[in-house]
């Protein structure tokens, strides 16, 4: 049973009991209605307390039911709230820990609300691409005022219960025993004559309601271009302000039903569950014991090492930072301080917090100082010989049971592990630059990495607020292995008729934060050049366009040299198309005998995104990633893939794998078609009418 019913001295207590977060799925909804009816029929009951067991009052509607018959099956949440609001006996919502979405809407249907200090209150539906669909857009403005409510609804952000004390939402915010306070409050109001107050009967008072709504519209227009939900939130609130509660409720319902079907909402829900699913590793049970990480050491105080160190400092974990030379160490420390000072200037950090963090940092030039670290992350030069030196030394000094992690982005973690006598303790922790900012952490599982090491790193990743995705060992792991195919296609298209600005514009219009050529100019074209040179040795059969090498031979490495695929002016990071480079590209096509043609923006997007999805499919087939949503999380959090499209694998599902396979076959028959070998799973899944994610 998802709801418990008990009575205490004339007060009925209805307790949602649907772990983990008391989601309002069908059986929970039915249980609440049943409880309300039972309380009406019991003459001994004078009042009702509605609360939640475990770690939430309620996390809202059960998102897993969306787009299934259960979502609309009676009693719907609207019906439940009507039953609560219509109860002749007063209902007191006793809120602790979390009241979000439908959970808060349910509480707003109660006659009274008591909250414990520290409860997280939110209408976060907008973050799932929908809007509060059970009266939240109508009742919250009546409870806390138009401006505060609209801010909460459009942002989806959490407000702590104590901040809302005195706002009209809560009758009491209590510090001590919530259950006791709620029972006392219910006994008191149970003795009072009805009718008991309903939020829906309150007025929305605002001197300039329409002006404020227009202001909100303008803000949303610039901040939420690709997302329909914030706009619809405003429509629903406005309808209530102008035409009253019932009309507002009808508009809210209509908007909810439309939004829940949108690809944007599907993508956001996919990301919500994908983020949580990423931490679950099929053969590593959730109760795997973890190692205690109380101190960390980072080797290398360069941009990467410094950024990595900041993650741990931010989480209150002491860091020993090792460099080989004093001046490099000093530079690294200065950069860390400068980054923190930047945060202070922006008001994101207090000066005190800055000092606290820096006090946790211990610089050193001696490997001996690493001997007590529970985790050591290496962030030195990306060359196997250099890594070998580091790991052989670590094997000497690190204490037994310490986790030894490499931040390599391309090298073989198994070979690195083999430099030690403890490969079970070695793992890859591939941070993305800037490491203190980027959410993604690829956790690379070596052949011998032990399960507890993996479980420890996944847990630690949560503590340092990263989205951790497990990757097996392969060249480039998940993200860079896929991006290589994407870049190959981008370069082929230059040869075949496109120019850098056209390719970038097309994919940026699709929603990528930055196209491949702007990105490459930012990262440094020499990095890709070095990788290609290695590839020419290792995989001489892999066909590449040599056009990027030609660019690098002229020294145009990107922003840092004042020119790459684009021209840059001093002090200006804007990319300006370069006549010189464009002429070079056209000349290159002529030289290689390629017939330049007009390439449409649709083709550009297809070739780039399908190249990602196709490689992603191979990565799944090889077991490098364990599920498609892991790949999507890599792309959403580390590669600027548009969130509203849900990642390359979900996008391929949305287009339909049948169509993806047809397109791949078509591209395979064009010039440079040898780069296209469709992953066999694409055709197989298409035949079964399935996608990567279902």
Query: By C-beta, is 21 or 664 nearer to ligand 3H9?
Result: 21
Report the alpha-carbon distance of residue 150 to residue 128 in Å, rounded.
17
SS3 213: helix
Distant-in-sequence contacts of 97-100, Cβ < 8 A, 24+ apart: 97/52, 97/55, 97/56, 97/57, 98/21, 98/55, 98/56, 98/57, 98/58, 98/59, 99/56, 99/57, 99/58, 100/56, 100/58, 100/59, 100/60, 100/124, 100/158
Is 591 one of the annotated active-site residues of the chain? no
Determine the interface stretch with ligand 3H9 among 100-108, 167-175, 446-454, 473-481 (rule: CB under 6 A): 100-108
Q: Does 61 bind ligand 3H9 (CB under 6 A)?
A: yes
Using DSSP bridges, classify how beta strands 3-8 and 11-16 pair: parallel, antiparallel or unpaired: antiparallel
Which residues ranging from 523 to 582 are in contact with ligand 3H9 (CB under 6 A)? none
Report the alpha-carbon distance of residue 469 to residue 458 in Å, rounded.
8
SS3 563: strand
Q: Does 164 bind ligand 3H9 (CB under 6 A)?
A: no
C-beta of residue 512 within 8 angstroms of C-beta of residue 504? no
Report the alpha-carbon distance of residue 649 to residue 653 in Å, rounded.
6
Determine the interface stretch with ligand 3H9 among 59-67, 237-245, 261-269, 491-499 (rule: CB under 6 A): 59-67
> What is the torsional sign of CA 349, 350, 356, 362?
positive
Using DSSP bridges, classify how beta strands 112-116 and 120-122 pair: parallel, antiparallel or unpaired: unpaired
Peptide bond into 195 cis (omega under 30): yes
Query: By C-beta, is 274 or 500 nearer to ligand 3H9?
Result: 274
Q: CA of 367: how far to CAs of 388, 407, 423, 427, 525, in Å?
A: 15, 18, 20, 20, 34
Q: Which helix (H) or strand (E) holds 303?
A: helix 303-314
Determine the interface stretch with ligand 3H9 among 101-109, 219-227, 387-395, 480-488 (rule: CB under 6 A): 101-109
Report the alpha-carbon distance of residue 46 to residue 383 in Å, rounded.
74
Residue 515 Cβ, how far from ligand 3H9 at the closest point, in Å?
32
Q: Does 21 bind ligand 3H9 (CB under 6 A)?
A: yes
Query: By C-beta, is 220 or 268 nearer to ligand 3H9?
Result: 268
Residue 477 Cβ, how far from ligand 3H9 at the closest point, in Å?
24
Query: By C-beta, is 128 or 298 nearer to ligand 3H9?
Result: 128
Which residues ranging from 76 to 95 are in contact with ligand 3H9 (CB under 6 A)? 77
Q: CA of 521: how far to CAs of 410, 513, 552, 561, in Å?
A: 20, 14, 11, 9
Determine the interface stretch with ligand 3H9 among 31-39, 42-50, 62-70, 237-245 (rule: CB under 6 A): 62-70
The active-site residue, picked from 34, 37, 85, 125, is 125
Query: By C-beta, is 206 or 459 nearer to ligand 3H9?
Result: 459
SS3 52: strand
DSSP alpha helix (H) spans, 156-262: 178-190, 209-223, 229-243, 245-259
Q: Does 428 bind ligand 3H9 (CB under 6 A)?
A: no
Q: Does 128 bind ligand 3H9 (CB under 6 A)?
A: yes
Q: Does 378 bind ligand 3H9 (CB under 6 A)?
A: no
Q: For ligand 3H9, which residue of 23, 228, 515, 516 counts as binding (CB under 6 A)?
A: 23
The total of other beta-carbon atoms located within 10 Å of residue 235's CB is: 17
Report the alpha-carbon distance of residue 342 to residue 338 in Å, rounded.
6
Residue 359 Cβ, how far from ligand 3H9 at the closest point, in Å?
29
Q: Does 646 bind ligand 3H9 (CB under 6 A)?
A: no
Q: Does 109 bind ligand 3H9 (CB under 6 A)?
A: no
Phi-psi region of 317 (alpha: psi -120 to 50; beta: other; left: phi over 0): beta
Report the alpha-carbon distance of residue 293 to residue 282 in Å, rounded.
23
Q: Does 62 bind ligand 3H9 (CB under 6 A)?
A: yes
Q: For ligand 3H9, which residue of 8, 37, 42, 64 counts as binding (CB under 6 A)?
A: 64
* Rg, C-alpha atoms of the chain: 29
Kindly state the DSSP code that residue 194 receives in the 8-state scheme: S
Q: Does 20 bind ligand 3H9 (CB under 6 A)?
A: yes
Query: By C-beta, is 178 or 236 nearer to ligand 3H9?
Result: 236
Residue 93 Cβ, how far from ligand 3H9 at the closest point, in Å?
15
272 to 311: interface string for ligand 3H9, x by CB under 6 A? -x--x-----------------------------------
Q: Does 68 bind ligand 3H9 (CB under 6 A)?
A: no
Query: By C-beta, is 134 or 487 nearer to ligand 3H9?
Result: 134
Query: By C-beta, is 21 or 150 nearer to ligand 3H9?
Result: 21
Residue 251 Cβ, how far from ligand 3H9 at the closest point, in Å?
14
**Which tokens hold the place of 265?**
């909402």
Is 105 one of the annotated active-site residues of the chain? yes
The active-site residue, picked from 85, 105, 252, 606, is 105
Residue 536 Cβ, how far from ligand 3H9 at the closest point, in Å?
44
Q: How far, in whole angstroms, is CA 243 from its chain's centroid?
A: 37
Residue nearest to ligand 3H9 (CB): 101
Residue 349 Cβ, how far from ligand 3H9 at the closest point, in Å?
24
| Phi and psi torsions of 391, nearest 5° | -70, -30
Q: Does 102 bind ligand 3H9 (CB under 6 A)?
A: yes
Q: Does 105 bind ligand 3H9 (CB under 6 A)?
A: yes
Q: Which helix (H) or strand (E) holds 503?
A: helix 500-510
| Phi and psi torsions of 430, nearest 5° | -90, 100
Query: By C-beta, is 252 or 495 nearer to ligand 3H9?
Result: 252
Query: By C-beta, is 39 or 61 nearer to ligand 3H9?
Result: 61
Residue 595 Cβ, how far from ligand 3H9 at the closest point, in Å?
52
Residue 128 Cβ, how far from ligand 3H9 at the closest point, in Å?
5
Binding site residues, ligand 3H9, CB under 6 A: 20-21, 23, 56, 59-64, 77, 98, 100-102, 105, 124-125, 128, 132-134, 136, 273, 276
Known catalytic residues?
Answer: 105, 125
């Amino acid at each position: 049973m998802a709801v418990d019913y008990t009575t205490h001295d004339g007060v009925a207590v209805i307790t949602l009991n649907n772990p983990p977060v008391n989601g309002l799925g069908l059986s929970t909804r039915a249980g609440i209605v049943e409880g309300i009816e039972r309380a009406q029929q019991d003459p001994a009951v004078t009042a009702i307390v509605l609360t939640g067991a475990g770690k939430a009052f309620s996390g809202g509607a059960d998102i897993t039911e969306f787009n299934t018959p259960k979502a609309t099956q009676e009693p719907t949440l609207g019906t439940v709230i009507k039953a609560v609001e219509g109860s002749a006996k007063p209902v007191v919502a006793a809120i602790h820990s979390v009241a979000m979405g439908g959970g808060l809407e349910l509480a707003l249907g109660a006659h009274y609300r008591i909250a414990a200090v520290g409860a997280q209150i939110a209408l976060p539906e907008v973050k799932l691409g929908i809007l509060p669909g059970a009266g939240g857009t109508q009742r919250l403005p009546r409870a806390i005022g138009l401006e505060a409510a609209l801010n909460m609804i459009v942002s989806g952000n959490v407000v702590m219960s104590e901040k809302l004390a005195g706002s009209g939402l809560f009758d009491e915010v209590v510090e001590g025993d919530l259950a006791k306070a709620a029972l006392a409050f219910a006994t008191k109001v149970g003795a009072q004559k009805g009718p008991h107050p309903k939020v829906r009967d309150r007025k929305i008072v605002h001197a300039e309601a329409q002006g404020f709504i227009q202001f909100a519209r303008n803000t949303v227009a610039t901040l939420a271009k690709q997302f329909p939900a914030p706009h619809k939130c405003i429509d629903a609130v406005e309808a209530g302000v102008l035409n009253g509660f019932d009309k507002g409720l009808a508009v809210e319902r209509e908007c909810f039903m439309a939004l829940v079907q949108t690809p944007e909402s599907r993508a956001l829900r996919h990301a919500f569950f994908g983020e949580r699913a990423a931490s679950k590793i099929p053969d590593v049970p959730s109760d795997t014991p973890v190692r205690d990480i109380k101190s960390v050491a980072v080797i290398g105080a360069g941009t990467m090492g410094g950024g990595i160190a900041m993650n741990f400092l931010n989480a209150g974990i002491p860091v020993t930072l090792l460099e080989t030379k004093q001046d490099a160490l000093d530079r690294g420390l200065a950069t860390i301080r400068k980054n923190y000072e930047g945060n202070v200037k922006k008001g994101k950090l207090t000066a005190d917090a800055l000092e606290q963090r820096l006090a946790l940092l211990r610089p050193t030039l001696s490997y001996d100082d690493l001997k007590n670290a529970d985790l050591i992350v290496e962030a030195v030069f990306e060359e196997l010989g250099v890594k070998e030196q580091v790991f052989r030394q670590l094997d000497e000094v690190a204490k037994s049971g310490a986790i030894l992690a490499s931040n390599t982005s391309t090298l073989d973690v198994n070979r690195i592990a083999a430099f030690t006598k403890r490969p079970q303790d070695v793992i890859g922790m591939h941070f993305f630059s800037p490491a203190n900012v980027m959410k993604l952490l690829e956790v690379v599982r070596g052949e011998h990495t032990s399960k507890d090491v993996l479980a420890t790193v996944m847990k630690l990743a949560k503590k340092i607020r990263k989205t951790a995705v497990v990757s097996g060992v392969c060249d480039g792991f998940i993200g860079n292995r896929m991006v290589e195919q994407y870049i190959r296609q981008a370069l082929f298209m230059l040869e075949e008729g496109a120019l850098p600005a056209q390719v970038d514009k097309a994919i940026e219009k699709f929603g990528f934060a930055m196209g491949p050529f702007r990105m490459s100019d930012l990262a440094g074209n020499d990095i890709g050049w070095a990788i290609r040179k290695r590839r020419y040795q290792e995989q001489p059969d892999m066909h590449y366009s040599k056009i990027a090498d030609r660019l690098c031979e002229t020294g145009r490495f990107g922003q840092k040299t004042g020119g790459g695929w684009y021209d840059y002016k001093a002090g200006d990071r804007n990319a300006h198309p370069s006549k010189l480079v464009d002429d070079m590209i056209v000349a290159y096509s002529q030289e290689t005998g390629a017939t330049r043609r007009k390439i449409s923006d649709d083709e550009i997007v297809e070739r780039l995104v399908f190249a990602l999805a196709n490689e992603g499919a191979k990565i799944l087939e090889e077991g490098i990633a364990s599920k498609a949503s892991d790949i999507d999380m890599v792309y959403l959090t580390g590669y600027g893939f548009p969130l509203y499209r849900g990642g390359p694998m979900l996008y391929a599902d949305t287009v339909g794998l049948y169509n993806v396979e047809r397109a791949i076959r078509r591209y395979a028959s064009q010039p440079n078609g040898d780069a296209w070998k469709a992953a066999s799973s694409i055709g197989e899944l298409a035949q079964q009418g399935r996608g990567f994610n279902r």
